[in-house]
Amino acid sequence: MAPLLKDELDIVIPTIRNLDFLEMWRPFFQPYHLIIVQDGDPTRTVMVPEGFDYELYNRNDINRILGPKASCISFKDSACRCFGYMVSKKKYVYTIDDDCFVAKDPTGKDIDALAKHIQNLLCPSTPLFFNTLYDPYQEGADFVRGYPFSLREGVPTAVSHGLWLNIPDYDAPTQLVKPRERNGRYVDAVMTIPKGSLFPMCGMNLAFDRELIGPAMYFGLMGDGQPIGRYDDMWAGWCVKVICDHLGLGVKTGLPYIWHSKASNPFVNLKKEYKGIFWQEDIIPFFQAAKLTKECDTVQKCYISLSQQVKEKLGKIDPYFVKLADAMVTWIEAWDMLNSKDSKEADVANGKLKGK
């Protein structure tokens, strides 16, 4: 059983509506502190079910806390959630979308997604060599014959990427082509994504170690005033994976599943995505070729170096990437501002909307 990291984990939820979905999660989430990032109209009231311990930030709060640096936080896009990563003071973060419900395992039992994420984060990853029996640290599994003994200690796990039953995380073209496709396949596995391999990180059901990788979990500039949406988590995933590979950290994917209830509108999605569909053909080779030097020995330094490479290499594709590269720097400045030693005390007096 995974330990209850009550004082070491925050749950970050971006939303524009009342959080009724929390009722179903109550047995699993209630011991934890929630950070709710309210998107859109800040005058609207978001209702949180009774009994949850939470703080809530709307756009006015973000602007007040970050000042001019608030420009790096997206508006009218769930990318705004990364503000929650920044204000958390905990070691771990779990983030989930408000249309995700508790899934059932093949025996019909409710899946405690958070407990599984904690288990994933607390045991090592194996990015340097592939283990054919999946996560070797899992009960009943191990390293197979031929797995080098020197690599069996593994590396610290920075990210646990969970999956989705029912509505799969498809792009707009696939949604349009396969409107009825549902994911019913419960794959009972967790695995490390090998070093050097990029993956499409989805922010729907995602946990990470803030201390190890937090400053790279920037969800970019999306939504209002930007030429693109729905690439927030992808952008973060590419940056995170390159930095994890460089710093010797692990990224796991697989279990736990959540139940994704409702497909978003594919026509709206296509509008948000279509530039990304072109751009990713250049972005991915860019990240595959990105180089970080030995001097980049912290996440922040890695991230700043990536931002420079983004400006230089991707800036040629579209001026958007110059703006994004600048926002990446602003994000790190804001992160360090809120996460310096001094900031912790200042933060207490910061006038947050504090829940019960």
Applying CB under 8 A, among 223, 237, 256, 266 the residue interacting with a copy of itself is: 237
What does the alpha-carbon distance between residue 119 and residue 3 come to, in Å, rounded to a whole number? 8
Q: Is the peptide bond before 227 cis (omega within 30 degrees of 0)?
A: no
Contacts with a copy of itself, 242-261, as mask; x by CB under 8 A:
-----------x--------
Calculate the CA 200 to chain-centre distance: 11
- Asked whether position 274 contacts a copy of itself by CB under 8 A, the answer is no
Shortest distance in whole angstroms from residue 7 CB to a copy of itself: 31
Applying CB under 8 A, among 43, 68, 149, 351 the residue interacting with a copy of itself is: 149
For a copy of itself, the closer CB: 43 or 107: 107
Candidates 17-25, 53-61, 164-172, 334-342: pick the segment binding a copy of itself (CB under 8 A): 164-172
Applying CB under 8 A, among 20, 60, 130, 268 the residue interacting with a copy of itself is: 130
- Asked whether position 267 contacts a copy of itself by CB under 8 A, the answer is no
Cβ count within 10 A of residue 149: 7
For a copy of itself, the closer CB: 86 or 191: 191
Give the position of tokens 């800040």: 42
Shortest distance in whole angstroms from residue 119 CB to a copy of itself: 15
Site for a copy of itself in 276-295 (CB under 8 A): 277, 280-281, 284
For a copy of itself, the closer CB: 40 or 136: 136
What does the alpha-carbon distance between residue 128 and residue 187 come to, in Å, rounded to a whole number? 23
Phi and psi of 251, rounded to 5°?
Answer: -125, 125
Applying CB under 8 A, among 52, 134, 286, 321 the residue interacting with a copy of itself is: 134
Q: What is the DSSP track for 283-318?
A: HHHHHHH----TT--SHHHHHHHHHHHIIIIITTT-
Applying CB under 8 A, among 24, 115, 141, 263 the residue interacting with a copy of itself is: 141
- Asked whether position 68 contacts a copy of itself by CB under 8 A, the answer is no
What does the alpha-carbon distance between residue 63 and residue 84 come to, in Å, rounded to a whole number? 13
What does the alpha-carbon distance between residue 38 and residue 58 come to, in Å, rounded to a whole number? 5
Contacts with a copy of itself, 305-334, as mask; x by CB under 8 A:
------------------------------
Answer positive or negative: Cα dihedral of 254, 240, 250, 193.
positive
Shortest distance in whole angstroms from residue 139 CB to a copy of itself: 9
Q: Give 150's DSSP letter.
A: G
User: SS3 for 75-93, per residue?
Assistant: ECCHHHHHHHHHHCCCCEE
Q: Are strands 33-38 and 53-57 parallel, antiparallel or unpaired?
A: parallel
Shortest distance in whole angstroms from residue 348 CB to a copy of itself: 38
What does the alpha-carbon distance between residue 50 and residue 304 come to, in Å, rounded to a whole number? 41
Site for a copy of itself in 40-59 (CB under 8 A): none
What does the alpha-carbon distance between residue 65 and residue 87 come to, in Å, rounded to a whole number? 10
170 by DSSP, 3-state: which? coil
Amino acid present at 243 = I
- Asked whether position 187 contacts a copy of itself by CB under 8 A, the answer is yes
Applying CB under 8 A, among 68, 108, 185, 341 the residue interacting with a copy of itself is: 185
Instruction: Decide if 9 contacts 117 (C-beta within 8 A).
Output: no
Shortest distance in whole angstroms from residue 253 CB to a copy of itself: 5
Shortest distance in whole angstroms from residue 239 CB to a copy of itself: 13
- Asked whether position 194 contacts a copy of itself by CB under 8 A, the answer is yes
Residues binding a copy of itself (CB under 8 A): 106, 129-134, 140-150, 161, 163, 168-171, 173-174, 178, 181-189, 193-202, 230-231, 233-234, 237, 253, 273, 277, 280-281, 284
